[in-house]
Structure 1
Amino acid sequence: MTARPDRAAPSLPLFDTAVVAGVGLIGGSVALGLRQRLLARRVIGLDASMDVLREAEALGVVDEVRAGAGEWLRAADLVVLAAPMRALAPLAAELAPYLNPAALVTDVGSVKAGIAAEMERLGVRSFVAGHPMAGSERGGVTHARAALLENAVWVLTPTDHTPLTALSRARTLVEELGAAPVVMPPEAHDALVATISHLPYLASLALTHMVARDERLSLLAAGGFRDLTRVASGDPRMSRDMVVENRAALKDALGRFRRQLERLEADLDEPEELLAAAHEGKRTRDSLPVVRRSLLPQRHDLVVAVPDRPNQIGAVTQALGAAGVNIKDIEVLAIREDGGAIRLGLESPDDVTHAAGILGAAGFEVRGRG
């Protein structure tokens, strides 16, 4: 059993009431991160689909659900817009009249210039546009998990009108969710993701279309081809909206990509030039940072809020030890003047349930992930 003290961070919880508007894969993962890390006293899911809301509530992704905007939003001091790209601006317009001016407002969309301009037009001054560089081919709240955001680069794109206090709060939120904040202007972000995210999607479509038009190719499509075309398995409508929203930057990236292909085509007649290009490609690919999420063992976590009194961690471990619950790992998420939180790594979902009952009966606030 090891204890790993975390870095210093603001007092927990960061927010009293957080609203996640759009409870899908990313929105649900943000909501789970807020709950599991005890960053908000209450997490409300807002979505137009009652089926999604019922599922999110049943899965413990949120504490409460709402199907529409209203005066209740004024109690929120954090609002995360997590709708698909095409629905993001209409959602912002729907929520704007009810937002608390002191609330931090952010989003998780993959294109930033448009939503940043729209929020300025709506007069939402505390908005900080954001983009967590995380995702999965599997969408929906069913596949949401807080770990999806851990170690991910999370781009924040303030404008000239973004208050520094809002940007500071957004950075703290991202860090507390376990991600790494990177700050840049919205236009710079959109140009970069056009090349490293949206262009690969179109390239993936082109390759899969070639296979679809010749069934013999599908017989030979091995692991390398499947890896290269993985992003084509994403939601077609959401992917379409994403690339169309960023079409100006994407067209520029396509032009540069086309010129690279033409150069490589010419190099087929110049083996030494092609070899030099291959070496350059290998150096670049090998230098890319790798986040080894897939190599991490599955964890069954229980997060426990602890008051700032002596021997509280001891009280937790002694209570579980007496009940025969084996603690595999302990991580100190935060310790503050007004209390903090610890994460317990347990062996199974049943252990999480058992431990939660024991600690809840002892007066501790707990939240688990099986």
Structure 2
Amino acid sequence: MTESVPPVTPTALFDTAVVAGVGLIGGSVALGLRQRFLARRVIGLDASMDVLREAEALGVVDEVRAQCGEWLRGADLVILAAPMRALAPLARELAPWLSPSALVMDVGSVKGGIAAEMERLGVRSFVAGHPMAGSERGGVTHASAALLENAVWVLTPTDHTPLTALSRARSLVEHLGAAPVVMPPDAHDALVATISHLPYLASLALTHMVARDERLSLLAAGGFRDLTRVASGDPRMSRDMVVENKEALRGALSRFRRQLDRLEADLDEPEELLAAAQEGKRTRDSLPVVRRSLLPAKFDLVVAVPDRPNQIGAVTQALGAAGVNIKDIEVLAIREEGGALRLGLESAEDVGRAAGVLRSLGFEVRARA
């Protein structure tokens, strides 16, 4: 018989976290904070009560709020996750209520504007950032902590960013399972203009060509769909994203036109076109593959464990005795008073059975979405 253990919850990095804007990315951050035991309490702030009710029902957040107020002073982590056009107004609304000691971050795809706005507002412990993750399917319904795993998360401090704030932001990103990369805001905006915003405009151009000739749509197979996938994103959010970064994007468009001109000229030079194709293949094949969760997130269970010997054994033995098959196991984090394990199970039913077994032994568990 497996010996029971005293209840344990890993020491949280933050006591109270507020996610302002509970959409795809904000919801994914909130889920990561809850499921990895990184915050004792996660509050969702959003102007839409429908969004808040859905986020609460899905277990994305612990509490919901529809308005800023005195309650915000108790937050030691605030994540701004509104769409690009709403980001600066949201910052202005929150700024008077923020604790000077709170770490404040954003997840917008353009960094120069929000970094300048937060400096103007005098929010000292602000670290601008951009997790390079997303989906054409938006909204909190599609939020998942797994979306952030192994993703590059760019942090863009300015000359006025405190080193302690940057260090705390890096630690949070790493604990969420992402890989932090640090660069200046303007460098980030120039790079994403090429690798993110330019492909979106190229997708629009290609889909517009198909829309204007019905015969093309009959022949648009998998390759075309893959190439134009980003055109399926939210039109308003995508429009705001590229407009916010228009200066850097104009430079990227100019370079892209030169590449197209060169390829057009190479149509008369087969060997040059072959060399261009070979370079393209080498570059495309060398791009890293970002691997998210290997198992469907809905079959995952996260278990809080104390930092003492044989805790993994206690968990696996108890589930083995109960007939629950563990297909994958991952140590998510070990902190001062314990850490967390991710268990990949075979089915939703196994998640429920495993949760019951482990709770009966004193473990705290959370199902992952």
Q: Deviations over 1:208-232 (max 9, x none)?
A: 0000001011011111111111100
Cα deviation, residue 306, structure 1: 2.1
Say how many residue pairs are matched: 359
Q: TM-score, normalised by structure 1?
A: 0.93
Contact residue 104 and residue 127 of structure 1 kept, 8 A:
yes
Q: How does 1:171-186 map to 2 (within 5 A)?
A: 171-186=170-185
Cα deviation, residue 115, structure 1: 0.3
Cα deviation, residue 348, structure 1: 1.4
Cα deviation, residue 337, structure 1: 3.6
Contact residue 301 and residue 343 of structure 1 kept, 8 A:
yes
Q: Which residue of 2 aligns with 1:63?
A: 62
CA distance in 2, matches of 1:86, 1:162: 23
Cα deviation, residue 273, structure 1: 1.9
Cα deviation, residue 261, structure 1: 1.1
Question: What SS class does the counterpart of residue 43 from structure 1 fall into?
Answer: strand
CA distance in 2, matches of 1:119, 1:305: 36
Q: Deviations over 1:75-119 (max 9, x none)?
A: 111111100000000001111111111111111100000000000
Q: Which residue of 2 aligns with 1:298?
A: 296
Question: What SS class does the counterpart of residue 18 from structure 1 fall into?
Answer: strand
Q: Which residue of 1 aligns with 2:109?
A: 110
Residue type of the alignment partner of 2:296: Q
Cα deviation, residue 309, structure 1: 4.5
CA distance in 1, matches of 2:311, 2:276: 59
Q: Deviations over 1:239-281 (max 9, x none)?
A: 0000000000001111111111112112212222222222221
Gaps of 5+ in 2: 1-9
CA distance in 1, matches of 2:229, 2:70: 43
Q: Deviations over 1:146-199 (max 9, x none)?
A: 111111111000000000011011111111111111100000000000011000
CA distance in 1, matches of 2:97, 2:171: 24
Q: How does 1:1-370 map to 2 (within 5 A)?
A: 12-293=11-292, 296-299=294-297, 300-369=299-368
Cα deviation, residue 311, structure 1: 4.1
Distance 1:68 1:193, change over 3 A: same
Cα deviation, residue 310, structure 1: 4.7
RMSD: 1.6
CA distance in 1, matches of 2:262, 2:354: 61
Cα deviation, residue 354, structure 1: 2.2
CA distance in 1, matches of 2:244, 2:53: 30
Contact residue 21 and residue 82 of structure 2 kept, 8 A:
yes
CA distance in 1, matches of 2:316, 2:286: 43
Distance 1:142 1:224, change over 3 A: same
Residue type of the alignment partner of 2:220: A
How much identity, in percent, do the aligned residues show? 89
CA distance in 2, matches of 1:368, 1:35: 10
Once the two structures are overlaid, the 10-residue window that deviates more, 79-88 or 272-281, is 272-281
Cα deviation, residue 345, structure 1: 2.1
Cα deviation, residue 63, structure 1: 0.8
Distance 1:322 1:297, change over 3 A: closer
Cα deviation, residue 331, structure 1: 2.3
Q: Which residue of 2 aligns with 1:7?
A: none
Contact residue 145 and residue 368 of structure 2 kept, 8 A:
no
CA distance in 1, matches of 2:249, 2:269: 30
CA distance in 1, matches of 2:12, 2:353: 25
CA distance in 2, matches of 1:21, 1:333: 25
Cα deviation, residue 343, structure 1: 2.0
Q: Deviations over 1:267-307 (max 9, x none)?
A: 2122222222222212211221112448x332522112123
CA distance in 2, matches of 1:102, 1:292: 35
Gaps of 5+ in 1: 1-10
Contact residue 352 and residue 369 of structure 1 kept, 8 A:
no
Contact residue 24 and residue 140 of structure 1 kept, 8 A:
yes
Contact residue 203 and residue 231 of structure 2 kept, 8 A:
yes
CA distance in 1, matches of 2:309, 2:270: 71
